[in-house]
Amino acid sequence: MCGISGLVNCGDRESLARMTHVQAHRGPDDAGLWDRKFPDGSYIGLGSRRLAILDLSPDGHMPMCNEDGTVWITYNGEIYNFAELRHELESKGHRFASHTDTEVVLHLYEEEGPDCVRRLNGMFAFAICDLRSAAPTLFIARDHFGIKPFYYFHDAKKFAFASEIKALLQVPGIEAELDPEALDQYLTFLWVPDPKTMFRRILKLPAGHYATFSRGELKLTQYWDLSFPPADHLCARSEADLAAEVRERFRKSVEAQMISDVPIGAFLSAGLDSSSIVAMMARATNQPVRTYTITFPAKYRVGETTLDDPEVPTRLARHLGCENQRIVVDPDVTDLLPRLVWHMDEPTADPAIITAYLVCREARKQATVLLSGVGGDELFAGYRKHVAHSWAELYCKLPLSARRLAEHGFTMLPSLRGTAMKGRVRLAKKMARSASLEPVDRFIANCTYLDCGQKAELYSPDFAEQSGSDPAGAHRSAFSRVCDADFLHQMLYLDTKIFMTTLNLTYNDKVSMASSVEVRVPFLDRELAEFVAWNIPPKLKLRGRFLPTTKYILRQAMRDILPREVLQQPKAGFAAPVDYWLAHDLKEMVDDLLAPSQISKRGLFRPDVVCRFIDEHRAGRQDWSMQLWQFLTLELWIETFLDGRASKFESDYAPPVQVATA
């Protein structure tokens, strides 16, 4: 796992060195630069920070070149089928100097050009500089699901890229400017959907895409997309047969992703996804699997139904013969949150970033690679919004008068914060707002934290004029691409392409790399995902209507492997005690950073409306915990990147850089 960077016709070697320096946490084991100036005055440079996972020797140094130095690569990721590809390439005459998957990607590109990405099974983001033709060509690519990040800046003949935005901001001419449309999306969803970022003119290469840059022209190409069968597609295979194949394909994926030359472990919560991964890992090795479970002291757990019960993974680890380290954390969140905002690059208002960071930080003392259950909910239908759609279909059959009465009643409910009913009340209020809408609008509403009316009240007159187009445009476009599929599959496509890529995979990458940990995601094996999409019918993913069973076929596949306690465990998010923090640890920070004078200074929001959110939340009239977390995270992001306070974090990293020249 690594941090990559590169420049074309902008910056210089010093800029490239700063780009690698600021990403040192992504690769503490090695650093390197390669650059070349051409007779016409053009310039190309590649930078790398290396976290050594396969072939720990100096042979894995990057940027890496082919035998004659005409093709150079900087690479981030893991290719799980690299051994088979290497054998094939050797049979065609390619010679290898290392045992890395990086070199396999390099030679595969030599052999097949841009189509090489279609052969790769894994997670990756890389750039290859091809000097074999009259005009140098930069080839860039991002993996099928967007597991690894790739940010870029393009302006005429200038091009720059990196694993993290903070590296791009080291380049002269690339300024930190807020994108108003992206801010509108952030306030709608808690994060900014691809390909935008919160920074004007800095974009993300979409998942499943590659691009070429030559003679100042950037050409993007989509090489893969997840697809689903038509809604009337019939599956003739039995449930038992399908469960058996899901289990076997999943087993192979987990085993393939256990390849490593450094210690490996796994997240272990009380949930089905991580438990399934650990169970398969335990079957694949004779050594006890290292597992890590995070929990909070009892004071944090009051009224938080989303925090997992730590006793369940403890019992499961014992049942499977695994090691289990329970990580009890009581973090200084006032110190931690600003640092994580810097690591995330963009404001990401999901408090799970704190939980994920803490478990990675502690696990790094023993393991460099962790397997994660991200992707299981998107493949097999595990979210409450999938269940909510089923409930809404039944709800819409009630008489209109009964629905209006119910919606009014739910709207008037107090938040019941501090009780076990808090989550249910929040869901009921959200459903009251969305249940009577058409399916597409209902799904979008269930993903929304501030709706159009609330934002209209919130925005200052000046900012309201800049906020722009429909924030859910990417969602509607994605729905249109799978409009012939069953609606559950449409929701899963949206979650896979937008929610998972932009939020879950992004924060898993950023917070794990903040601790120099590589996170792998076995559910996102491309062949497994394609099989599940096309062969498992909706009724075997979400089973039943009134009290539907989520991820039904996965539960059946794991029925003889996992204890009943795990199979019947209700869904619990990888969450954090937001309510407690806002009321205690962060209370002073909220009062300071969201004070009327500070809100007025930014010119984005109306101070009285922000104050109303704070007052209603503290009085218990409404649960605005996620919205307050949004405002707080945004202000910290502005201070860090727009006010220029990022340097206090950048100074933590001062590694040496090796320089290669052409």
Sign of the four-CA dihedral 494, 455, 510, 306: negative
Inter-residue contact 6 to 74 (CB < 8 Å):
yes
Q: CA-to-CA distance for 218 and 568, rounded, in angstroms?
A: 50
Evaluate whether 488 touches 507 at the Cβ level (below 8 Å).
Answer: no
Residue pair 43/32 in contact (Cβ under 8 Å)? The answer is no
How many whole angstroms separate alpha carbon 412 and alpha carbon 404?
Answer: 12
Q: How many Å apart are CA 155 and CA 162, to the nearest integer?
A: 15
- Tell me if residue 396 falls in helix, strand or coil: coil
Write out the H or E segment, with its range, that includes residue 240: helix 239-256
Q: β-strands 151-155, 202-204: how paired?
A: antiparallel
**Which helix (H) or strand (E) segment is 168 a member of?**
helix 165-168
Type of residue found at 222: Q
To the query of whether residue 396 is one of the catalytic residues in this protein, the response is no
How many other CB atoms sit within 10 Å of the CB of residue 409? 11
Burial class of 658 by CB neighbour count within 10 A (0 to 12, 13 to 18, 19+): middle
Q: Residue 237 has what DSSP assignment? A: S
Torsion-angle region of 569 (φ positive above 0: left; ψ -120 to 50: alpha; else: beta): beta
CA gap 176, 409 in Å, rounded:
45
Region of 543 (left: φ > 0; alpha: ψ -120 to 50; beta: rest) is: beta
Cα separation, 279 vs 283, in Å, equals 6
> Which residues, 6 or more positions from 68, have their beta carbon under 8 angstroms from its beta carbon?
none
Q: Phi then psi for 246, rounded to 5 degrees? A: -60, -45
Residue whose entry in the numeric block shows the structure tokens 């924030």: 471
- The answer to whether 71 and 132 are in contact (CB under 8 A) is yes
H helices, E strands: number in the chain: 29, 18
Distance between CA 424 and CA 194 in Å, rounded?
Answer: 30
Rg (alpha carbons) of the chain, rounded to whole number: 25
**Exactly one of 2, 10, 65, 116 is catalytic; which is it?**
2
625-637 helix and 607-619 helix, angle to the nearest 10 degrees: 140
Q: Which of 126, 188, 159, 118 is nearest to 1 (CA)?
A: 126
State the catalytic residues. Answer: 2
